[in-house]
Amino acid sequence: MNKDFNALAWLLQRITAVGLVLLLGIHFWLLHFKTHGEVIKFSDVSMRLHTWTLVLIDICLLIFGLYHASNGIYSIVQDYSVGGNGRRVTLWVLMCGGCVLAIIGGISLFRFLYVAG
């Protein structure tokens, strides 16, 4: 594996960690203080996700979370001394899986802006 790839992956893991702390903070704050009533209703969420800013926050949360989790799993695989082929397969599975989940998540969020309610 390219040495710069390792350094970049490590740096992005740190950046996404900081990003996740901030974005999760915003996410929890919205859920606890900006939700009317005690029960979270679909209509409330739908209404909130009509705002571009909130959709953008959730998109960032999705991408940061997916990168952080996938790279974390890949790191564990490397920690357990999985051989060259195993590492490559894991990397590709995680990259493809991550992309698919990002697309599904992204489409779901954008549907609130353009389609829902």
Partner 1 sequence: MKNILKVKVFRCDPETDTTPRYDIFHVPEIKNMAVLDVVFHIQNNQDRSLAFRSSCRIGMCGSCAMFINGKARLACRTGVATLGTKELTITPLPNLPVIKDLLVDMDPFFEKYEKIKPYFIPEEGRKDFCSVPEGLKERRLIDEMLECITCGACYSACTIVTTNPEYLGPAALNRAFCLIADKRDGGGDERLRIVSDSNGIWRCHGQFNCGEVCPKKITPTWTIQQLKKRSVFKMMGIHL
10 Å CB burial of residue 84 (0-12, 13-18, 19+) is: exposed
Q: Is 52 in the site for partner 1 (CB under 8 A)?
A: no
103 binds partner 1 per the rule CB under 8 A: no
By CB under 8 A, residue 113 contacts partner 1:
no
Nearest distance from C-beta of residue 60 to partner 1, angstroms = 22
Does 75 bind partner 1 (CB under 8 A)? Our answer is yes
The answer to the question of residue 79 lying near partner 1 (CB under 8 A) is yes
3 binds partner 1 per the rule CB under 8 A: yes
The answer to whether residue 11 forms part of the interface with partner 1 (CB under 8 A) is yes
User: Is residue 38 part of the contact set for partner 1 (CB under 8 A)?
Assistant: no
Query: Using alpha carbons only, what angle is made at residue 71 by residues 106 and 60, rounded to the nearest 5 degrees?
Result: 30
Torsion of the alpha carbons at 62, 48, 114 and 110, rounded to the nearest 10: 0
Residue ranges that bind partner 1, judged by CB under 8 A: 1, 3-4, 6-11, 75, 78-81, 87
